[in-house]
Amino acid sequence: MATALVDGPDALTGGKDAPEAVVVRFAGDSGDGMQLTGGQFTLSTALAGNDLATFPDFPAEIRAPQGTLFGVSAFQINFGSTDIETAGDQPDVLVAMNPAALKTNVPALKAGGLIIADSGEFNKRNLEKAKYDANPLEDGSLEKWQLLAFDISALTLEAVKPFGLGNKEALRCKNMWTLGLALWMFDRDRQPLIDWLNAKFKKNPVLAEANVAALNAGHAYGETAELSGPLKQYHIAPVESEPGLYRTVTGAESISLGLVAGAQLAGLHMFFGGYPITPASSILHNLAKLKEFGVTTFQAEDEIAAICSAIGASYAGQLGVTSSSGPGIALKGEAMGLAIMTELPLVIVNSQRGGPSTGLPTKTEQSDLYQAVYGRNGDAPIPVIAARSAADCFDCAIEACRIAVQYMTPVILLTDGYIANAAEPWKVPDPATYTPFPVTFLEEANGPDGKVLPFARDEKGARPWIKPGTPGLMHRIGGIEKNPGTGNIDYSPASHQIMTDARKAKVDGVAKSIPAQDVTLGDETGKLAVVGWGSTFGPIHQAVRRVRRKGLSVSHIHVRHVWPMPENLGDLLKGFDKVLVPEMNTGQFKTVLRDQYLVDAKPLNKTSGQPFTIAEIEAAIEAALV
């Protein structure tokens, strides 16, 4: 089970003092520091030993106008003493720092859930900005929920008064006050937060003290205030996890670490060419700090230069990597074709966001699957891998590196805005348990009479990797069709046929090197297979778990290797009467499955920029089985 929603009585209101899981959403103005509050709450939750999943949801504007509905930034966390795989469908607790945050987030709150609102911000101006005719804290419109409204602004100002901060600076401590209250509610240790604040404001001890004072004040408020009713303290027991060392990790961190590990396993220096774009930039940020791991990062003038420089580095013998999001990936298309044509290794990471065009820069979607699998001119096959979670990004990045160097091919690794930003606990892997895949460069002529054959192929269909600088192996490569062996320009009909077939056979052959498709949950045959890929893993898994408890014959299959797909997938799907494919797009993987296996896959689509809820998938499963 995952969320409090699952098991009947509402976690915080049903009289249970020790719920198994709780969903809390912090919402405020984009300047209120909600992402930071959420991040720190996540850390304290992890330290308390709970399993968790988070969903940061913020506007594209850096400083959206204050108090507006579109300027609301929210951070949701689901944590509990059981396995947590989604950020939770409906929050049990909503912390609303202003009227706009309340208005945009309260519809999601579970009936009977708890609202904690800063009444100090519910003034005429802010109510107008949030388009409220009357103050919702007073007009009874929130009676479906439990409401706790108090003047957090005033309480914060009071708490930080001794430090002589200006009004604006003092109010910035509101998020720490709120965090203090939340820490009290869930019986959390404040010390790691205090340490973190002292480190963060090392250069400004007054700010550090003020923030700590606000944190303590919020905590004390919960402890001492004679609040009857909803505000109670809860203790969420630690989850029973596999013993080991844990940390929290976001998808962007995990990808960066996986790429570093992948390059090490290949025995190569990594070259990362990137260009700033949301939500992919954090990978470039992370790698820029990891130079001691044999990483060179290059901030290029545009997306095209980013991928071209990476291909240049691969040509010169390093592991070229580039990363972007949909619009940037579109720009890289022609260069991907060159990497396919010249058969050079390359890893392309796409942190998908809502599209087309600029679309939803900070919201999630899985709508670049066609782009990854089909989106280039010519017959241009590329292996495509999709990560299912933040932690899974690590293994997927390693796998992408392996395929790239073993098959001399570009590889696309798909993640999305949700995975990139969301944090989850991660059992720190031991790098020694991964099998190395060291690269060998061609050092001597491989053809008759000392000739170089740059496009001779090994048993995998891969050509040799030849570093410029190697004596005696001079040769020319390029994007023009070439002779199957020498690589010299050759437009002849036979040559293009042979080379097109060879490129396709090579990428198809990647399927031989990947594990057979497993069934993540449920039986190998049955009435319904729910087939997913990427970040829909959590909600699909939980929905399938719920319907199986009801006795329904449903299995969850989650595909990592989107192209080429595992060799047994077609047969596996034939063992089910029906196939349902939930995706955050209009049905792209469903189409690929239909095309590849002639299976009557049915779509379940969502393109709101928000992840699926468990309930949505559960309802679709039940409808499919009627």
Partner 1 sequence: MNDMTPFTTTLKDWETDQEVRWCPGCGDYAILKAVQRTLPEIGANPAKTVFVSGIGCSSRFPYYVESYGFHTIHGRAPAFVTGIKLANPELDVWMVTGDGDGMSIGGNHTMHIIRRNVNVQILLFNNEIYGLTKGQYSPTSREGTNSPTSPMGSVDRPALPCAFALGSGARFIARAYDVSKNLPAVLKAAHAHKGAAFVEIFQNCIVYNKDRFDDFVAKGVADQNQLWLADGEPMLFGSEKSGGVKGIALDMETLSLKVVDVVDGDWQAAGVIVHNVKNRAIAHMLVEMPFGPFPMALGVIFDDPRPSYEETLLAQDEQARAGKSANLAALLAKGQTWTVSGTAADPV
Candidate segments 14-22, 200-208, 264-272, 347-355, binder of partner 1 by CB under 8 A: 264-272
Q: Which of 226, 474, 493, 626 binds partner 1 (CB under 8 A)?
A: 474
Is 416 in contact with 352 (CB distance < 8 Å)? yes
Q: Is 274 in the site for partner 1 (CB under 8 A)?
A: no
- Minimal distance in Å, beta carbon 402 to partner 1? 16
Q: Is 497 in the site for partner 1 (CB under 8 A)?
A: no
Q: Which of 52, 477, 557, 559 binds partner 1 (CB under 8 A)?
A: 477
Q: Which is nearer to partner 1, 314 or 351 (CB)?
A: 314
How many whole angstroms from its chain centre is CA 20? 25
Size of the site for partner 1 (CB under 8 A): 75
Candidate segments 91-99, 236-244, 373-381, 586-594, binder of partner 1 by CB under 8 A: 236-244
**536/419 Cα distance (integer angstroms):** 10
Backbone angles phi, psi at 352, to 5 degrees: -65, 150
**159/206 Cα distance (integer angstroms):** 13
Q: Residue 86: helix, strand or coil by DSSP?
A: coil
User: Does residue 279 have a cis bond before it (omega within 30 degrees)?
Assistant: yes
Q: Which of 157, 473, 547, 601 binds partner 1 (CB under 8 A)?
A: 473
- Minimal distance in Å, beta carbon 39 to partner 1? 11
Q: Is 37 in the site for partner 1 (CB under 8 A)?
A: no
Binding residues for partner 1 restricted to 326-355, rule: CB under 8 A? 334-335, 337-338, 342
- Minimal distance in Å, beta carbon 375 to partner 1? 16
Q: Which is nearer to partner 1, 94 or 236 (CB)?
A: 236
Burial class (CB in 10 A: 0-12, 13-18, 19+), 435: exposed
Q: Which of 131, 247, 549, 550 binds partner 1 (CB under 8 A)?
A: 247
Neighbours of 626 (CB within 10 A): 4
Q: Which of 31, 158, 169, 192 binds partner 1 (CB under 8 A)?
A: 192
Q: Which is nearer to partner 1, 167 or 377 (CB)?
A: 377
535: tokens are 């970040």
**626/618 Cα distance (integer angstroms):** 13
Helix axes 174-185, 152-160, angle to 10 degrees: 100
Pairing status of strand 72-80 against strand 21-29: antiparallel
Candidate segments 166-174, 430-438, 439-447, 597-605, binder of partner 1 by CB under 8 A: 430-438
Site string for partner 1, 136-175 (x = CB under 8 A): ----------------------------------------
**372/334 Cα distance (integer angstroms):** 13
Q: Which is nearer to partner 1, 234 or 246 (CB)?
A: 246
Residue bearing tokens 């996890």: 241
Q: Is 243 in the site for partner 1 (CB under 8 A)?
A: yes
- Minimal distance in Å, beta carbon 142 to partner 1? 36
What value does the CA radius of gyration of the chain take, rounded to a whole number of Å?
A: 27
Site string for partner 1, 291-330 (x = CB under 8 A): xxxx-x-x-xxx-xxx-xxxxxxxxxxx-x----------
Q: Which of 154, 227, 489, 598 binds partner 1 (CB under 8 A)?
A: 489
Q: Is the dihedral of CA 401, 407, 412, 415 positive or negative?
A: negative
Diameter of the chain measured on Cα atoms = 92
Q: Is 257 in the site for partner 1 (CB under 8 A)?
A: yes
**165/154 Cα distance (integer angstroms):** 14
